[in-house]
Structure 1
């Protein structure tokens, strides 16, 4: 073998450390070209000025090659000092994707093999170790905890927002219903859970997934010894063993939430200081998209405010890639969610990929019935590879994965985002229930949507049509109350989408079928219509970069400090800090209640009396929170001598214009369908009552006792028990449901004595089982009657289209109510029917 090194003029080959020079010297595949301008800018700036930042956030537009940038930075570090370099992905799927990138560009890497030992080439600083969050962050991590942690000089977290979610899941213990431990927990806390919601606890015992209840923090603390005994006896359980070492001495740091099919134990505070490999690294780099709010790095990863305020970003690029956003339901009402799925989910000879992002497997069923491919964690990598290889006949459905899936070029030219994303973990669902109007929750939802929007456009020259369907999603995107949570780039794309919808309405007048307008717009995008391309560029170039103040930074800093003090046993200092949040950061009463509950939790170890007082204050401000020890006196709905019409006007006036009004109306009706999760269904039924000028309450939710919904109409009442999750195929009302209804009828008599009430059970069948009995007169609202209520509700508010609300007389609005059967008599008689008691 010829030793060519001897032929060189120099005796020693110096390793290149400038990442731009490294890239030029790599043995790259021929398909790779020069670095993109944005990549070049970031690498230059990092090498010249940001190499020594301990905490660094790098922000690029989606699809601009963050992975390659990270790999080149770590390659530079390898060449400069041969120190261990670690590249962490949120999940195994992205590990595979990153390995493909490293291979393509000829970057030295290693990963864990079947032996599961840490590779020597990584420890010796010869290769970059590519792995995932769960491998690094767990109670039995191979990288070691605290003083036993392996020293790594340079760490990169790719898709960092997704990493936070993955990291939190590694600390979470999930106890499934099939396990003995589940029933032992239920037995231990049965009285505590029943006090938090009698009806919800019955649903949980009957395996209803959508019903959730938190175990009160005071019960958790008082029964800590029993909990430790239960968990330690099942320590080898896979779900427990990796969290147990970090949990066993800090049980107070955990929140427990129960559902009908599992129990979730999740930490309030993630103790990152135990993971020296990450915590003590000389440089920690987080990769983030320009559309993402990096405030979450404070609580999730313990980053400081300055690093978040000073990310490394290319100021020359305001936007990247082309997205045509289509909102079919704003073009014509017939182009609703079901109609679009019916057209786009069926197999056909397509030259490009069609992909739909849906928030749950429940919403994927319609696609499956239409012939789409449903991906899950077991086949997602293969499904995406098939798309990239040109297999486009079937629409591909990706469930609850809004980040980390790259679908460039023809692998996805049409992306459907179906319905507003919702949270899957019980702790996130609980927080969403308690903080629906919170900036924190709305920012998280906006980020998920933006992550989804970025899946199909992976470069400056990439393009895609994005179809947005589902009333809740369209409302979130269009409403001025929530539109503000998006980045300037996304807001401009939404504005273009709204302009397209308005222009399409004009074309619609000339077309026979509304769907033709959609296919015409799709064609313009796919055939690269010059007019569209120029229009999009012109509009996007008008983006003005904003330097808005992010108030979440200070809020999260205080929250993180408070939880840190509480974790370390200084509950007094934690209480002082969270009081600052309550005093200075909470303008909304329900948000104030949320933080008062945190204060009550901190105070519990200092003074149980003060803690109970704080919890009562929290509950009075926000009925979704924990029902305090000792309870709250039920506040009865009583007739207020206020004109019903004036309450309708007040509700309408919450909306700045007719389009905003109809977004709210349609969002309510979209969630009043069988198959909808109970929380959304019951919340929308309450809002429908308020919109119609009625007094509307959720006793079971707000006071932990009584029916799901209660309306008051001129001192007459309608009580509802909602069974929205019961399948259409169910043939009868069972004994448990009848018993629950009877219990709530008794509650009404106890609370309201001789008041007149209509008792309605919302369920798909009117047949009462032979084995069941009702103790009172009960009527049933089935699918057709529920549909009639929805349609009449929509029709009533459509009457407002050509009027200014202040120009409408009370008589005119009353005429609208009568015309749409929403007067008091009709509400009591038109929407329910007698049940049929089956004979043996």
Structure 2
């Protein structure tokens, strides 16, 4: 027997600690990891009183140490014999980070091991409750999961921590989606599906369908009407059974829910998934005794109910710990909101110069939504990293200073702690990444789901470079759409209280800096001054920051928040009935919402379409009647075959009144914010083959409204007529958009489309006068094209002239408070810039010429 054996404590007296925050003191930590932060202890103490609840949503700000909190809760469950326990991460990089964190604190963790037949197996330490299993969310939730797929043979789990839980919704949907990649072979699965839906998709929107089928670069996405998905169920199932191994992990979810699918079609792939995530097919997840969801935000609370079957009561009783003392300083600057001359490109150039001159003496990391958005930075010498190249990015930042790195489409899962980065740039509004999300944004403009996801991406991005109370960062927001999104009062509720508090302080700073916004140099000097306070962590700056932000937070936190999840509960209830085949009860569940809140329900249009979808299974005629009601509320929803177009009318009103109403609709707090909101719409007016045709048409619709027309998109609404229609007081404009055109003439096909649209207009509005306008880069028409009537063209050069006029409008709008504008002043503003009904044609178009 050794000397150490004699010194051991009697095992009978060696009690195992089961209280999470006390367990920390029993562990052996690496140097520098010996202390539990106050915010972590506070959270764990509150968790202890609720550890027996089925589900718990834990809200902590980014950088407050959620990983250690999650590990300690699981260790507490193991120590009490309540295992096995699992720690779920959104990706492999975070799996590595969790394993490293556990090692720093002496917490035993394991991963899956190699098993028979090439399948991964569970380590004995996990199944016996001796160690925590750390895996990705997708490892657990997939069609061949070791955690059971709709079967009795599965691991009964005691507790699960879901880290970065806001990503669990998209990951669960991704796991249940079969993607059929485009292959132009006639017999390919993609073409078999596309041919199946072709006739009806043409009826829904022929122009969009043509773009998709052509295979040309396009952001166009179409949802397949539910009646096709239901009527062609057998054909769809047969095609799905021919899919390759690429979809084998997703296919079981789809085939098991063949009666309740949704399908989206894009130019590069067709996505097929259940209408909601069938999470009950993974019993280890859905039946776990305790699930702790950890995130900085749960603004998408309804999705946790509809997709992961979390209860409404759980959403209402979130465990929120602010940890103000553990939050570093974030100086958030939106340059264009300070001074309109601080355009995006000028700020990119300034930031690069400031780094070169060591005015910004730190690494700069830029987050952009796409590779295209990274190009301006790359041209200025920045190094671009794909969202998957995070290890390479971190390695570069560790050994360098004053480097500018650009990361494409990655807003979470990047820890830029300490000197890795003290200057962060969010350049551009985060965009929808999946076809489902793109379809929702096109069919439900302004939906809470889309807006909420955008806000979460922004919030996650802002939190990348401040990871502790000893950390700080300068954060620039570039891009008019991003700055508008953050500034709009109607969007503020989408952010957490802590982020709102930070943005309010940012607003205060903007007002102080911009007091003399007539002098650009003076404004820039003030901005540089406060930037140095942040970069140098000036003590007075730190105190000022925390005093302001904490005061703002306290006010926000105490505000009563009226959030109801009753609608989400009904949607989930209806889904459960639907997967059981009881569609009558599914409809009944949803009708309780629409009948109770008829006329006041925010998403009544979507709810009616959902009712129609279930209704179609047992009463097709009533379903299409319900669909008609939905379509009348939202022109972007599915069009039943008997839908009739409602003529547009422009009420006689004083010139400038439409402009005034548009200004009031933004509810902007100051002139700069209003100008940014308008600019985000004007920025959509681009002639370029990589531009978004849908956005362009929305921009034209907005412009028409501003100019006082009754502005609409008939083709989007009923699949006939022009792309855009402006109904004026004396004359109407019939506009066909070809902003992606690259040819040096207007083709015969384009001319015929315009002629067809004009013919529809004359038939629909026989007593009105209209002018044909082609929105095309050139005004030269193919010699083989013949159109009866005069065609005017808004060419690329004329668009530049129009853009200059719109910039003048923006400058004027930024000059005073939005509420102070009178109708007469706005009328004069339009007239001064040749933007009246009569002036527009003369100033911004030219008659078409025929190609010789």
Deviation, structure 1 residue 201: 1.0
- CA distance in structure 1 between the aligned counterparts of 2:271 and 2:818, rounded to whole angstroms: 50
User: After the TM superposition, which residues 692-771 of structure 1 pair with which residues of structure 2 at under 5 Å, given as runs?
Assistant: 692-726=707-741, 731=744, 733=746, 737-738=750-751, 740-753=753-766, 755-766=768-779
Q: Do residues 380 (structure 1) and 390 (structure 2) align?
A: yes
SS in 2 for 1:512: helix
652, 656, 665: which one aligns with 1:654:
665
Is 311-320 or 786-795 further displaced after alignment?
311-320
Judging changes above 3 Å, is the alpha-carbon distance between structure 1 residues 337 and 809 closer, same or farther for their aligned structure 2 residues? Answer: closer
Judging changes above 3 Å, is the alpha-carbon distance between structure 1 residues 393 and 528 closer, same or farther for their aligned structure 2 residues? Answer: closer
Judging changes above 3 Å, is the alpha-carbon distance between structure 1 residues 614 and 108 closer, same or farther for their aligned structure 2 residues? Answer: same
What is the root-mean-square deviation of aligned Cα atoms in Å? 2.8
1:792 match: 805
User: After the TM superposition, which residues 389-404 of structure 1 pair with which residues of structure 2 at under 5 Å, given as runs?
Assistant: 389-404=398-413
820, 824, 835: which one aligns with 2:833:
820
1:352 match: 362
CA contact (8 A) 1:419 1:473 kept: yes
- CA distance in structure 1 between the aligned counterparts of 2:614 and 2:632, rounded to whole angstroms: 19
1:149 match: 154
Is 416-425 or 113-122 further displaced after alignment?
113-122
1:125 match: 129
Judging changes above 3 Å, is the alpha-carbon distance between structure 1 residues 495 and 575 closer, same or farther for their aligned structure 2 residues? Answer: same
Judging changes above 3 Å, is the alpha-carbon distance between structure 1 residues 260 and 774 closer, same or farther for their aligned structure 2 residues? Answer: farther
User: After the TM superposition, which residues 442-461 of structure 1 pair with which residues of structure 2 at under 5 Å, given as runs?
Assistant: 442-461=451-470
Judging changes above 3 Å, is the alpha-carbon distance between structure 1 residues 658 and 27 closer, same or farther for their aligned structure 2 residues? Answer: closer
Q: Do residues 205 (structure 1) and 210 (structure 2) align?
A: no
Is 766-775 or 568-577 further displaced after alignment?
766-775
CA contact (8 A) 2:656 2:823 kept: no
- CA distance in structure 2 between the aligned counterparts of 1:332 and 1:614, rounded to whole angstroms: 49
- CA distance in structure 1 between the aligned counterparts of 2:677 and 2:146, rounded to whole angstroms: 51
- CA distance in structure 2 between the aligned counterparts of 1:355 and 1:521, rounded to whole angstroms: 20
**Deviation string for 1:79-98 (max 9, x for gaps)?**
33273211111122221222
User: After the TM superposition, which residues 153-302 of structure 1 pair with which residues of structure 2 at under 5 Å, given as runs?
Assistant: 153-178=158-183, 180-207=188-215, 208-234=217-243, 236-238=244-246, 240-289=247-296, 292-302=299-309
CA contact (8 A) 1:203 1:260 kept: yes
Judging changes above 3 Å, is the alpha-carbon distance between structure 1 residues 268 and 413 closer, same or farther for their aligned structure 2 residues? Answer: same
- CA distance in structure 2 between the aligned counterparts of 1:807 and 1:136, rounded to whole angstroms: 57
Deviation, structure 1 residue 451: 1.8
Q: Do residues 306 (structure 1) and 313 (structure 2) align?
A: yes
655, 660, 672: which one aligns with 2:685:
672
370, 373, 381: which one aligns with 1:371:
381
- CA distance in structure 2 between the aligned counterparts of 1:278 and 1:335, rounded to whole angstroms: 50
Is 191-200 or 675-684 further displaced after alignment?
675-684
Judging changes above 3 Å, is the alpha-carbon distance between structure 1 residues 383 and 643 closer, same or farther for their aligned structure 2 residues? Answer: same
CA contact (8 A) 2:84 2:126 kept: yes
CA contact (8 A) 2:799 2:844 kept: yes
SS in 2 for 1:81: coil
Unaligned ranges ≥5, structure 2: none
2:549 match: 540
- CA distance in structure 2 between the aligned counterparts of 1:585 and 1:687, rounded to whole angstroms: 30
- TM-score of the superposed pair, with normalisation by structure 1: 0.92
Judging changes above 3 Å, is the alpha-carbon distance between structure 1 residues 587 and 458 closer, same or farther for their aligned structure 2 residues? Answer: farther
User: After the TM superposition, which residues 300-339 of structure 1 pair with which residues of structure 2 at under 5 Å, given as runs?
Assistant: 300-314=307-321, 317=324, 320-339=327-346
2:40 match: 39
- CA distance in structure 1 between the aligned counterparts of 2:299 and 2:649, rounded to whole angstroms: 46
- CA distance in structure 2 between the aligned counterparts of 1:526 and 1:317, rounded to whole angstroms: 20
1:569 match: 581
SS in 2 for 1:719: strand
User: After the TM superposition, which residues 335-734 of structure 1 pair with which residues of structure 2 at under 5 Å, given as runs?
Assistant: 335-344=342-351, 348=356, 351-387=361-397, 389-506=398-515, 512=521, 515-542=524-551, 543=553, 544=555, 545-546=557-558, 548-585=560-597, 591-628=603-640, 630-656=641-667, 659=671, 661-674=674-687, 675-726=690-741, 731=744, 733=746
Deviation, structure 1 residue 147: 1.0
- CA distance in structure 1 between the aligned counterparts of 2:17 and 2:289, rounded to whole angstroms: 21
- CA distance in structure 1 between the aligned counterparts of 2:6 and 2:785, rounded to whole angstroms: 94
Deviation, structure 1 residue 587: 5.4
Unaligned ranges ≥5, structure 1: none
- CA distance in structure 2 between the aligned counterparts of 1:243 and 1:790, rounded to whole angstroms: 47
SS in 2 for 1:492: helix
**Deviation string for 1:413-436 (max 9, x for gaps)?**
111122222212122222222333
**Deviation string for 1:290-349 (max 9, x for gaps)?**
574544321221111222222333377488221111010011111122222233357847
Judging changes above 3 Å, is the alpha-carbon distance between structure 1 residues 4 and 369 closer, same or farther for their aligned structure 2 residues? Answer: same
CA contact (8 A) 1:334 1:514 kept: no
SS in 1 for 2:558: coil
Deviation, structure 1 residue 765: 4.3
- CA distance in structure 1 between the aligned counterparts of 2:508 and 2:685, rounded to whole angstroms: 30
SS in 2 for 1:598: helix
- CA distance in structure 2 between the aligned counterparts of 1:807 and 1:337, rounded to whole angstroms: 27
2:107 match: 107
CA contact (8 A) 2:330 2:473 kept: yes
**Deviation string for 1:139-161 (max 9, x for gaps)?**
11122223122222111111111
**Deviation string for 1:152-199 (max 9, x for gaps)?**
211111111112211110111112223621111111111010011011
Deviation, structure 1 residue 631: 3.2
- CA distance in structure 2 between the aligned counterparts of 1:280 and 1:123, rounded to whole angstroms: 16
- CA distance in structure 1 between the aligned counterparts of 2:307 and 2:352, rounded to whole angstroms: 37
CA contact (8 A) 1:352 1:390 kept: no
Is 292-301 or 730-739 further displaced after alignment?
730-739
- CA distance in structure 2 between the aligned counterparts of 1:319 and 1:726, rounded to whole angstroms: 53
**Deviation string for 1:711-760 (max 9, x for gaps)?**
12224222222234457xx6555565455445434433443458543333
- TM-score of the superposed pair, with normalisation by structure 2: 0.91
CA contact (8 A) 2:264 2:270 kept: yes
CA contact (8 A) 2:111 2:133 kept: yes
CA contact (8 A) 1:578 1:599 kept: yes
